[in-house]
Amino acid sequence: MKIGNLELAAEELPGAVPAWGAEVDASQWLAASIHAEASGGRLLALWGSDRSDGAKPRFAVHAALVVQPGIIVMTLPLSEETYPDVSNVFPAANRMQRAVFDLLGLRATVPADERKWLRHAAWPPDVFPLRKDFLGDGSAFESYAADHIDDYPFVSVAGDGVHEIPVGPVHAGTIESGHFRFSVVGERVLKLEERFGYKHKGVEKRFEQMDCVTGAKLAGRISCDSTVAYAWAYAMAVESACGGEAPSRAAWLRALLLERERVANHLGDLGFLGNDAGLAFGLTQFSRLKEDMLRLNAAIFGHRYLMDLIVPGGVLIDVSAEESSRIRAECDALESELLLLRSIYDEHPGLQDRFIGTGRVAPELAARLGLIGLAGRASAQAWDLRAQFSCSPYDRLDVHMATHRNGDVAARVIVRFDEITESLRLIRAILEALPTRATLAQLPTAAEGATGIGWVEGWRGEVFMALELGPAGAIRRLHPHDPSWQNWPLLEHAALGNIVPDFPLINKSFNLSYSGHDL
């Protein structure tokens, strides 16, 4: 296949999304990245693997690039523990490469930034938990954690009147843990640096102790506000590895769940965006709408957040005609209320004053640094899998992508409103055209070493999963990738030049995942 002008020997991977796999050498690794970047492609994910129970040599790094025809997954087998650095081609690779080193001890040569990323003081620098010889019984940590301080070298800003404000990882409200280091002069933010990894739970290691059936449950818990997207991506990866397929009714029901998850999350965010600007009225109204949705979810699907409904091979739920009309009635009610609330948000001078121009990510910057998902679309990065690489049933639904050029908080609010409207349309269209057939199919047994790809447009952005199976359906390696990897670095840029009290609003307008990033 061709990446720009580069010809790469690649074989097509079976599955719902257009994907190719290619084994490359170090020079192709770099060349493919450069050509992909030059031809408008982007880096989707970068991860490493320890294949000591499978192929030789022991280690490999993988990168998923999004190019014109689809995804290309490059595998670079490593004879030594180093590989070429691509962070100067794709800035988003910086943190992924650092995470690869922390987890596997594979070093990119020679990156500008060699600081640790996911590793904290509780974890010795010469222990690499994703290596197969790491047992995970805690023996490596016990003596270490007690007397080590996490001396992460933040970039310091010097100058007259410049000082630092450390925020987190413990916050005043109930939010996930992350550390933000502001360098400010007065109220103006000169630099913001993030530090994550506090939510590292060893999800990838845990997957390696599971098989592809039991893994579905864990996949739905990687980042629980996107449980549908993760579960679907996982199911897609397993189906692609097995060479099987979910029945078409299951695919449509998955899309129904995904759109309901999108609407619920967007409603919650819109409420909190109003609240963070001091308009508590917005929070209560949007929370009420979200709560109504969650209760209907519980009534029809048995779970408020739609957890554990999607499994490899299909879905575990079905929608009767009566339930379908309840969902449709809810869509109608929601739409009219949403219209009213949108006009209140649009016409509230105090709110608009806080939203407009705040936390701006210019389209050029977004393109250069690789902003994706909802935040990307608000900065004119027109990527939406549902519209561009649409798998069933989106290929029949003609999804309208919501985009905006301003890249500020106001734009991200507008995109959210537009996406809710579109999702409500999709939900109605799905219920209208739901095919009648089984919802669960038996998957064929996968061969050892089979690989599969899952790629789903969650509410936050693209959720990606790369799966390699071992013998008898065991998971040899599963790499889940959250769009937050790409978008967290952009938040640092969005805050620049803004005043400190506007940061919570900017942060909320991105609303990125800690758990999905820290794994």
Partner 1 sequence: MSPFFESILSQLTQTLLVVVLAPAFLGWLNQCRAWLQNRSGAGVLQPYRVMRKLFHKDAVLAKNASPVFRAAPYVQFSCMVLAASIVPVIETDLAFSPAADVIALVGIFALARVFAALAAMDIGTAFGTMGARREMLVASLSEPALLMVFFTPLLIAQSTSLNAIADALAHRQFAIYPSLAFAAVAFVMVLLAENARIPIDNPSTHLELTMIHEALILEYSARHLALIEWATAIKLTTYCALGIALFVPWGLAQTGEWQMLPVSVLAFAGKLALAGAALAVLETVSAKMRIFRAPEFLGMAFLLAVLGMLTFLLLGA
Which residue among 276, 330, 418, 468 contacts partner 1 (CB under 8 A)?
276
Assess 497 for contact with partner 1 (CB under 8 A).
no
| C-alpha torsion sign, points 280, 282, 288, 293 | negative
Beta carbon nearer to partner 1, 168 or 247: 168
Residues of span 14-43 touching partner 1 by CB under 8 A: none
- Give the span between the Cα atoms of 120 and 105, in whole angstroms: 15
For partner 1, which residue of 115, 171, 217, 396 counts as binding (CB under 8 A)?
171
**Residue 331-370 contact track with partner 1, rule CB under 8 A, x = bound:** -----------------x-xx-xx----------------
Choices 214-222, 225-233, 319-327, 500-508; region in contact with partner 1 by CB under 8 A: 500-508
Q: Which of 112, 139, 173, 321 binds partner 1 (CB under 8 A)?
A: 173
492 binds partner 1 (CB under 8 A): no
With both helix axes pointing from N to C terminus, report the angle between 248-276 and 280-301 in degrees, rounded to the nearest 10: 160
302 binds partner 1 (CB under 8 A): no
Which of 285, 324, 403, 423: binder of partner 1 (CB under 8 A)? Answer: 285
Nearer to partner 1, 117 or 503 (CB): 503
Cα–Cα distance measured from residue 440 to residue 435, given in angstroms and rounded to the nearest whole number: 13
Polymer length of the chain = 519
Query: Which residue in 48, 77, 274, 483 binds partner 1 (CB under 8 A)?
Result: 274
| Helices 321-347, 409-433: inter-axial angle, 10-degree rounding | 160
502 binds partner 1 (CB under 8 A): yes
Question: Does residue 499 interact with partner 1 by CB under 8 A?
Answer: yes
In the bound state with partner 1, the residue whose beta carbon lies nearer, of 226 and 285, is 285
Relative orientation angle of helices 409-433 and 503-510, to the nearest 10 degrees: 20
How far from each other are the two terminal CA atoms of the chain, in whole angstroms? 33
User: Is 500 near partner 1 (CB under 8 A)?
Assistant: yes
Shortest Å distance, C-beta 193 to partner 1: 15
CB-nearer residue toward partner 1: 33 or 507: 507
**Three-class SS state of 422:** helix
Long-range contacts, stretch 274-277, CB < 8 angstroms, 24+ apart: 274/345, 274/351, 276/504, 276/505, 276/508, 277/350, 277/351, 277/354, 277/355, 277/505
Burial-class residue 447 by CB neighbours within 10 Å (0-12, 13-18, 19+).
exposed
CA 511-512-517 angle, to 5 degrees, is 165
- Residues near 268 by Cβ (< 8 Å), separated by ≥ 6? 286, 287, 290
Q: Which is nearer to partner 1, 287 or 392 (CB)?
A: 287
Please state at what angle helix 93-104 crosses helix 484-495, rounded to 10 degrees.
130
User: Judged by CB under 8 A, does residue 288 bind partner 1?
Assistant: yes
Choose between 318 and 492: whose C-beta lies nearer to partner 1: 492
Which residues contact partner 1 (rule: CB under 8 A)?
163-167, 171-174, 187, 274, 276-281, 283-285, 288, 348, 350-351, 353-354, 499-504
